[in-house]
Structure 1
Amino acid sequence: MSRTSLLRLPGLTGLVLVVTSLSVLPALAESRETLGWVEEGLVLPEKTRVKFKLDTGALTSSMHAENIERFEKDGDDWVRFTLELDDIQNDEQVETRLERKVVRTTKVRGAGGAEERPVVLMKVCLGRRVHEAQFSLNDRDKMNYPVLIGRRLLEEIGPVDAARTFTQEPRCDA
């Protein structure tokens, strides 16, 4: 019996199919959190709490970094940089010097022209989950949000409600 004919069957079979479908939908919705367009998150491993902007207009996520230096290590491209973030929970500035292997380089075009930025893997906590994702490194001092979450990571995170902000406390065990 085809799926189409099953849906046309009157009586108990059709009712069971509808009830089963309705009972699965809430479980799917609960498996991924709905977040607002601005959320508090943690940059790991330092657990620095900062504001994240969830930006459906950006493809790649971006993180504030200063003093970016490229170098070679074991034949691979690496980058050394300073994360200088204002921790909004403790109202203090956290400065950490990190080294990461460059995953790729991205070209960003804007009003001021085009520039190449290194992309590295970083871990962040958003809601109840830790995400390891690619972040382009850029001086975001003049931006309101030190971390921007792009569509590549949003696919993993789940839906964004553009009318809401600060819907989830970061609660990761990492």
Structure 2
Amino acid sequence: MQLTHEPSVRLGLAAICLTAHVCAPSLVQAGQKAFGWIEEGLVYPDKVATKFKLDTGALTSSMHAEMLERFEKDGENWVRFTLEFEDIDSGKDVETRIERRVERNLKVRGAGGAETRPVVLMKVCLGDKVYEEEFSLNDRDKMNYPVLLGRRTLDKLGLVDTTKTFTVEPSC
């Protein structure tokens, strides 16, 4: 199949690109910002620098958390958990115990069966902006990336160029 350069075809390809949030470099217009599929970001409250995977295959973002403990506070469901990241800038391990209100529960099905994960609001920095987003909490120790940004968050970021990594440094 030969790709044509007619304006209507280019416009159609750009619309597909924007809708999917994934673009080949040739489809990204000059001046349009596109994040790479792996970026360095900061996780609040400690502003720990870590790797984020921008994953168009996931709907909900996910964050590494250990020692989850559910409890009730003022009649609402809450969760206490430990964030444990290696700060990629300093090489130091940073561990923080956090409490958050559970926004909802997410049922995840996989080869090992189904599990229910709490979803909480967390702040992260990517580029020069702070985003407060929903993250499902899961032990991601065996994963390459402790933070995964799903489509709900990617909708707010913009384009993802799957051929690039580390296109911005966090500056929040």
TM-score for the superposition, normalised by structure 2: 0.82
Correspondence for 2:139: 139
Counterparts of 1:95 and 1:150, CA distance in 2: 24
Correspondence for 1:75: 75
Counterparts of 1:51 and 1:110, CA distance in 2: 24
Correspondence for 1:104: 104
Counterparts of 2:127 and 2:111, CA distance in 1: 34
Amino acid at match of 1:64: H
**Secondary structure of residue in 2 paired with 1:154:** helix
Select the structure of larger CA radius of gyration.
1
Runs of 4 or more consecutive aligned structure 1 residues displaced over 2 Å after TM superposition: none
Gaps of 5+ in 2: 1-28
Counterparts of 2:59 and 2:138, CA distance in 1: 15
Counterparts of 2:90 and 2:140, CA distance in 1: 21
Amino acid at match of 1:112: G
| TM superposition shift of 1:60 | 0.1
Counterparts of 1:76 and 1:162, CA distance in 2: 40
Counterparts of 1:153 and 1:58, CA distance in 2: 10
- Work out the number of aligned pairs and report it: 144
- Cα-Cα RMSD: 1.2
| TM superposition shift of 1:47 | 0.5
Correspondence for 2:86: 86
| 1:16-44 deviation digits (Å, cap 9, x = unpaired) | xxxxxxxxxx79x65xx310000000001
Counterparts of 1:82 and 1:52, CA distance in 2: 18
Gaps of 5+ in 1: 1-25
| TM superposition shift of 1:76 | 0.2
Counterparts of 2:162 and 2:113, CA distance in 1: 29
1:155-174 equivalence runs, <5 A: 155-172=155-172
**Secondary structure of residue in 2 paired with 1:170:** coil
Percent identical: 69
2:143 is the alignment partner of 1:118:
no
Counterparts of 1:158 and 1:127, CA distance in 2: 12
Correspondence for 2:15: none
**Secondary structure of residue in 2 paired with 1:46:** coil
| TM superposition shift of 1:155 | 0.1
| TM superposition shift of 1:75 | 0.1
| 1:48-107 deviation digits (Å, cap 9, x = unpaired) | 000000000000000000000000000000000000011000001000000000000000
Amino acid at match of 2:63: M
| TM superposition shift of 1:111 | 1.1
Higher normalized helix content (fraction of residues): 1
**Secondary structure of residue in 2 paired with 1:167:** coil
Counterparts of 1:68 and 1:100, CA distance in 2: 11
Amino acid at match of 1:131: Y
